Amino acid sequence: MAVGAFTVGATTVTKATPTATPLGRVVPAPASVTPGKTPYRITHDTAIQVDGSREARRIGEYLAGILRPSTGYRLPLSTHAGHGIQLRLTKGSFGAEGYRLDSGPSGVTLTAAHAAGLFHGVQTLRQLLPAAVEKNSVQRGPWQIAGGTIEDSPRYAYRGAMLDVSRHFFTVAQVKRYIDELALYKINELHLHLSDDQGWRIAIDSWPRLATYGGSTEVGGGAGGYYTKADYQEIVRYASSRYLEVVPEIDMPGHTNAALASYADLNCDGVAPSLYTGTDVGFSSLCVGKDLTYDFVDDVVRELAALTPGRYLHIGGDEAHSTSHEDYVKFMDRVQPIVTKYGKTVIAWHQITGAHPVKGALAQYWGLDDTDAAEKAQVAAAAKNGTGLILSPADRVYLDMKYTEDTPLGQDWAGLVEVKRSYDWDPGNYLAGVPTSAIRGVEAPLWSETIVTGANIDYMAFPRLPGVAELGWSPASTHDWDTYKVRLAAQAPRWDALGIDYYRSPQVPWPAS
């Protein structure tokens, strides 16, 4: 707080006026920050200037949608030059997602080469404003943005979060809310785990019982649910309006009880098992020897690929404990070409590296710090051979792991994962023998065996998710727990304003509320 003096009648009154949030106090940490002297102050006559492009206008509307309710200002969109907030798309060396923010007394300008960069810049701008800007009713300002320049672009192109909508089903509205939370931290990939033993969550026209029967329950025996094609497209559209790409996953050949229960013919013995509502893993397998299995996969992949504008299709491949190794390899050899035939890049859990990953495939590592050396070496060998890696070490970034023994939700098979532990590692040197170029990024999965409500999602994701987002975005040179925890703590009033529940870790110096 700065202290300002003013005079009322004959008395001089000293009043604390809030200073602007320092330019670098955002999550993820920007690549470069040059503080200036004088802040910009948003007032009733601020306008949001956009260039002629449709995308800049759309992002301007999005920004106005955040600022108008809390400031109470009109903040009209305009294409005329003048003072205010400017959003500009121009050629420049910003990269696919980078941006530049210039702030001074006459305005704030965000410049980027691509819309995603402008959008990420808007998230930075948002975090530089007081947390009350997130509220839905008129709040007191002042609405200052510190002066200076930020030049920012991501370390990794793939910065993901996964939501398991199979173990418990989440509605379109719940997924949209999570998308908004992810966007605030510049996450750009939303991986949806759409099928598992406990539920099939996406309508497939050629195999309708997958959704109507296979989607009719969930862990604990609740009603489950599934996305119609229109629902799924609505999620994809909303994600893309927040510059996130949807990565759909159909987990195969294990984790398939819901499909096997829906169609008896998919089973080697022709007998459909019951629906499953427990939390065991590794007991189901598609029938690798049957041709029908590949007709099924072809239909599912074809329909899902057609609904998905994104580049990727995730085929799972983890915990296939009921599939022999030989069958697993055979299955993956047949299924990966189906994915590429429909124009998608294969992603699979890192067990795929024990088979033959196709050219261009990405493997998602979900081992632990102490996963045995042979398994890590197999992943590293695949990486040397050209398989890209997404890092999701379970004892670091699995958002369903308990923070401490007392965490009411979550599991602990990978260990207890406090906030510092989830942040304090480097994706760049996590796996020995992996070429730097093989690391495509990081992803924080949220498995939902114990996660039932939107508030449960928030509590497990916050405050760990912003740390994973920072590992994916910020240069390694900014990595420092002691300064990170202060920036993280400063996010809490924003979560309060947004109604985001979070774990009040004693490791983080939260502001007194």
Residues forming the active site: 319
Q: Which residues pair with 102 in a beta bridge?
A: 109, 149
Nearer to ligand TNX, 140 or 321 (CB): 321
Nearer to ligand TNX, 216 or 450 (CB): 450
Query: Which residues ranging from 10 to 29 are in contact with ligand TNX (CB under 6 A)?
Result: none
Nearer to ligand TNX, 378 or 411 (CB): 411
Q: How many residues bind ligand TNX (CB under 6 A)?
A: 10
Q: Which residues contact 16 (CB under 8 A, 6 or more apart)?
A: 1, 2, 3, 4
Q: Rounded to whole angstroms, how far apart are CA atoms 444 and 400?
A: 9
From 102, 152, 245, 318, residue interacting with ligand TNX (rule: CB under 6 A): 318
Contact flag: residue 319 with ligand TNX (CB under 6 A): yes
Under 8 Å between Cβ of 393 and 364: no
Contact flag: residue 197 with ligand TNX (CB under 6 A): no
Q: What is the CA radius of gyration of the chain?
A: 24
Q: Rounded to whole angstroms, how far apart are CA atoms 374 and 23?
A: 45
Q: Cα 72 to the chain's mean position, in Å?
A: 31
Residues 57-76 as x/- pattern, contact with ligand TNX by CB under 6 A: --------------------
CB of 468 to ligand TNX, least distance (A): 15
Residues 437-456 as x/- pattern, contact with ligand TNX by CB under 6 A: ----------x-x-------
Q: Reduce the DSSP state of residue 72 to 3 states and report it.
A: coil
Q: How many Cα atoms occupy the beta-carbon half-sphere of 447 within 13 Å? A: 20
DSSP assignment string, 117-148: HHHHHHHHHHHHS-GGGGSSS-----EEE-SE
CB of 413 to ligand TNX, least distance (A): 6
CB of 318 to ligand TNX, least distance (A): 3
From 349, 430, 459, 484, residue interacting with ligand TNX (rule: CB under 6 A): 349
Verify cis geometry, omega within 30 degrees of 0, for the bond prior to 69. Answer: no
Tokens 């047949």 map to which residue?
334
Nearer to ligand TNX, 66 or 281 (CB): 281
CB of 281 to ligand TNX, least distance (A): 5
Nearer to ligand TNX, 303 or 400 (CB): 400
DSSP assignment string, 464-490: HHHHHHHHHHS-GGG--HHHHHHHHHT
Nearer to ligand TNX, 155 or 440 (CB): 440
Torsion-angle region of residue 383: left (phi > 0), alpha (psi -120 to 50) or beta? alpha
Query: Which residues ranging from 128 to 187 are in contact with ligand TNX (CB under 6 A)?
Result: none
Query: Which residues ranging from 368 to 427 are in contact with ligand TNX (CB under 6 A)?
Result: 398, 400, 411
Q: Return the DSSP state at 437.
A: G
Nearer to ligand TNX, 227 or 366 (CB): 366
Environment class of 290 (CB within 10 Å of its CB; exposed 0-12, middle 13-18, buried 19+): middle
Q: Rounded to whole angstroms, how far apart are CA atoms 332 and 316?
A: 10
Q: Which tokens belong to 229?
A: 């094609």
∠ at Cα 368 (365, 369), nearest 5°?
115
CB of 440 to ligand TNX, least distance (A): 17
CB of 509 to ligand TNX, least distance (A): 30
Specify the DSSP element, H or E, that contains 80.
Answer: none
Q: Which residues contact 236 (CB under 8 A, 6 or more apart)?
A: 246, 307, 308, 309, 310
Q: Cα 148 to the chain's mean position, in Å?
A: 29
Nearer to ligand TNX, 303 or 318 (CB): 318
Q: Which residues pair with 200 in a beta bridge?
A: 195
Q: Rounded to whole angstroms, how far apart are CA atoms 470 and 281?
A: 31
Contact flag: residue 281 with ligand TNX (CB under 6 A): yes
Nearer to ligand TNX, 97 or 400 (CB): 400
Binding residues (CB under 6 A) for ligand TNX: these are 281, 318-319, 349, 366, 398, 400, 411, 447, 449
